[in-house]
Structure 1
Amino acid sequence: MFSKFLNIDKEKQDRIINAAIKEFAEKGYDRASTNEIVKEAGISKGLLFHYFQNKKQLYLFVFDYCYELVIGEFYKKINFQETDFFMRMRQAVMVKMEMLTTYPDIFKFIQEVFMEESAEIKVEFDKKKTELTHINIEKVYEGIDYSKFREDVDLKKILKIISWTFEKMSDEALYRAKLSPTHELDYQTIQAEAEEYFEVLTKCFYK
């Protein structure tokens, strides 16, 4: 679908992608202007729509690009030799915090996507987010030593409770960010809150 764009030189690709990330992250989907994107990228509007049929296609492409970049780097940094469930989860939080300093604009954009309410893309992205969450839960649990968990409680239920806990924590953090003028997530607070839950859940579900 995006072969025309992928065939141009890397420097021009980067200019267009970076301009789109900046505009979408700052203004959200509905308010983002393709005029501003082409101005920032130094190309014509006709050329942008030669590569992408419309703003929605551009948004979808940029999200997939950013997500694949971040998730690829994330899994390179995760030590899958660590088989303790909660140590793996702590590691995941620390890696994410580290990557926030490396890719601030990309994380800002992805954060805005997860808060996006535009009717034009909301249904499609809600489905995509659900699918990606499921895929990544399976991946991050890979190789875990489940023998540490209590045997008198169903393991599947334990994992569901843990997943629901952090999904709800994430939802609450996003909701607080939506209410703030800057839409900024307080990652230090989130990290501290996650650690509190790790301690409680360890006591509840480990032998």
Structure 2
Amino acid sequence: MNQAFKNIDETKQKRILNAAMKEFAEKGYEQASTNKIIKDAGIGKGMLFHYFNNKKDLYEYLVDYAITVMHDEYLSLIDTNEVDFIERMKQIAQVKWKYIAQHPNVSNFIAMVYLSDEVLLPEELDTRLADLQKTGYALIYKNVDQNLLRHDVDVDKAFQLIRWAIEGYQNELMRQFQGETIAHIDLQPYWDEFYEYLDVLKTTFYKEG
């Protein structure tokens, strides 16, 4: 990272990073416009390449930044001591919403990175991306108590259906709130509805009592 970028105030840094992540997430690497990033970040024309050597340098910095944010402010906060799978997913959902409210562009950007083959990343970044994905998957299933499920259901399929249902609900809310600032929305009614859906899932897949 260019030392000049490190030296600017945090608010301006985040404005540049968010503008860049949003542009790359929406357009992909090749079609992303550095002019649009400059405009949305509200900086002078030559400043972006004063902070970063070139477009690829910026992109690689964003990947490194997004990985760090996802690990430190999302995955590291998931409590694997909760052995009830549905309760684990509830906790993950709560952590995820807080993280998205604070970092609205990180998830979309990192999803684009995983799906794109436009840029050959340095080996170290590729390894960190793979490790991030493995960590996220492990945190969903680590130490869960399979004995809570009914004996007449396939455990793996039940867990998958529960996860799809919960993630589908979250994705539907994200579509509804697209373009809005999540921090300014009263989420309590949505959490109440979410918990009702979780009760239905428990009734469907868990043993009685």
**Alignment partner of 1:86 is 2:89:** no
- Unaligned segments of structure 1, at least 5 residues: none
Cα distance in 1, alignment partners of residues 147 and 162 from structure 2: 16
- Amino acid of the structure 2 residue aligned with 1:84: D
Aligned equivalents of 1:23, 1:38: Cα separation in 2: 6
- The 5 A counterparts of 1:58-207 are 58-59=58-59, 61-99=61-99, 104=102, 107-110=103-106, 113=109, 123-124=115-116, 136-178=136-178, 182-184=179-181, 188=187, 190-207=190-207
Of 2, 7, 14, the match for 1:11:
7
Secondary structure of 2:201's aligned partner = helix
Partner deviation per Cα, 1:92-112 (whole Å, 9 max, x = no partner): 2233344456xx2xx221355
Deviation (angstroms), 1:136: 1.8
Partner of 2:122 in structure 1? none
SS in structure 1 opposite 2:105?
Answer: helix
Q: Is the 8 A contact 2:86 2:162 kept in 1?
A: no
Return structure 1 stretches of 4+ with deviation > 6 angstroms: 6-9, 131-134
Q: Quick check: 2:149–2:206 contact (8 Å CA) kept in 1?
A: yes
1:35 aligns with 2:31: no
CA distance in 2, matches of 1:9, 1:115: 25
Aligned length: 185
**Same amino acid, percent of matched pairs:** 20
The separation in 1 between residues aligned to 2:60 and 2:2, in whole angstroms, is 15
In structure 2, C-alpha distance between the alignment counterparts of 1:91 and 1:199, rounded to whole Å: 15
Equivalents in 1 of 2:5, 2:21: separation in Å?
A: 24
Unaligned ranges ≥5, structure 2: 118-125
Contact kept, 8 Å, 1:22 with 1:109, in 2: the verdict is: yes
* Residue 166 to residue 133, structure 1, CA distance change in 2 (3 Å): farther
Q: Give the secondary-structure state (helix, strand or coil) at the position aligned to 2:74.
A: helix
Deviation, 1:191, is 2.9
RMSD of aligned C-alpha atoms?
A: 4.0
